[in-house]
A = this chain, B = another copy of it.
């Protein structure tokens, strides 16, 4: 099977680019002697998880997930050491307990005293990290908040450490920015740890990270692990904040031309808002790619700056680069579209058609979507 045989729209994953991205991150993290706990929320695939784990310096260490569906899926495939990194609710503890009773070792996170109480009083309480806000202003409590030791006390023997997420690193625009943000996150985590140690608490896990900070941190001294995710695939947004090169985007959407508007120098494709997502991340960075950048079927940037300017449910409108010499594109011509935000684009699709540089489909890897 070759790419030109595939039904469109669908997701194409280049295994060679993926492997390079995995190895780049593994080396970057190994410099610091901390564990790499890859976040599987982007790939949601056991095949990708196995490559990510094999790429690490040491065979030890678990993964991170963002949904209980992912936790169930990866546990069913034999990965036991899992951090579910979205604030737990009391109602979800039974599902976690069921997986742990079956052999998994899923840790959860909280920043709430009442939830800490619910965890401690559960019949099968999971190990729990306290979420620290290192500046993102989403989940977590401030490192100096007195609630920190109160939550740890309430968790009792279930308290296992702290977790932060430098999601605000996406506001950074350079390697220098990422170094500053990574250091601020490290300092925030360590300040929380200092308070906890002063209170007599033992700390097993100090978990930080995002792809750009994991890649560019100057030091992770004192930290025990980092949790990047999007680095595996890369995207147009991450390319502009220094995580990956434009040529290192591993996932693209294969689409067919379904309409031609030569007078307007436009083509329509069958990848619209559902196949690409409505994510407009690149609106905030120097080069705005609309809803994605059109590449040829081989994934090469031979179409210049031809971008998806409009995305209806199943229609994408591509504004063709006025300066590029373009081939004829009859109806049915296949293109590939690099995504703004690969996590959201991938989530619309139930599988990857895997290639390895060429146009031969060497594997089909399923994804675990939903909740």
Of the candidates B91, B258, B371, the one whose C-beta lies within 8 Å of that of A139 is B258
Of the candidates B86, B115, B256, B259, the one whose C-beta lies within 8 Å of that of A314 is B86
- Chain B residues closer than 8 Å to A280, beta-carbon distance: 278, 280
Known: A87-B258, A138-B312. 20 other contacts (CB 8 A): A7-B92, A8-B371, A9-B371, A86-B270, A86-B314, A86-B315, A89-B258, A111-B259, A112-B259, A112-B260, A114-B331, A138-B268, A138-B317, A139-B268, A139-B315, A273-B279, A278-B278, A278-B344, A313-B344, A348-B369
A350 adjacent to chain B (CB < 8 Å): yes
A41 adjacent to chain B (CB < 8 Å): yes
A181 adjacent to chain B (CB < 8 Å): no
What is the count of identical protomers in the complex? Answer: 2
Q: What's the Cα separation between A87 and B66 when bound, in Å?
A: 37
A277 adjacent to chain B (CB < 8 Å): yes
A370 adjacent to chain B (CB < 8 Å): yes
A314 B89 Cβ-Cβ under 8 A: no
A100 adjacent to chain B (CB < 8 Å): no
- Chain B residues closer than 8 Å to A347, beta-carbon distance: 274, 348
Interface residues of A in 326-354 (CB under 8 A from B): 330-332, 343-344, 347-350
A66 B111 Cβ-Cβ under 8 A: no
A10 adjacent to chain B (CB < 8 Å): yes
Selected A-B contacts with CB under 8 Å, 12 pairs: A8-B371, A9-B371, A41-B314, A86-B314, A87-B258, A89-B257, A115-B331, A115-B332, A167-B312, A278-B280, A348-B370, A350-B369
The 6 closest A-B pairs by CB, nearest first: A87-B258, A89-B332, A278-B278, A66-B314, A278-B279, A139-B259
A260 shortest CB reach to chain B, Å: 7
Of the candidates B87, B88, B371, the one whose C-beta lies within 8 Å of that of A10 is B371
A89 B331 Cβ-Cβ under 8 A: yes
Interface residues of chain A: helix, strand, loop or mixed (majority): loop
Interface residues of A in 133-168 (CB under 8 A from B): 137-139, 167
A97 adjacent to chain B (CB < 8 Å): no
- Chain B residues closer than 8 Å to A89, beta-carbon distance: 8, 256-258, 270, 331-332
A175 adjacent to chain B (CB < 8 Å): no
Q: What's the Cα separation between A302 and B147 when bound, in Å?
A: 31
A275 adjacent to chain B (CB < 8 Å): yes
Q: What's the Cα separation between A55 and B84 when bound, in Å?
A: 45
| Residue-wise interface mask of A (302-334) relative to B, using a CB-CB cutoff of 8 A (1 in contact, 0 not) | 000000001011110100000000000011100
Q: What's the Cα separation between A91 and B257 when bound, in Å?
A: 11
A20 adjacent to chain B (CB < 8 Å): no
A358 adjacent to chain B (CB < 8 Å): no
- Chain B residues closer than 8 Å to A138, beta-carbon distance: 259, 268, 310, 312, 315, 317
A219 adjacent to chain B (CB < 8 Å): no
**Chain B residue at minimal CB-CB distance from A10:** B371
- Chain B residues closer than 8 Å to A268, beta-carbon distance: 87, 138-139
A68 adjacent to chain B (CB < 8 Å): yes
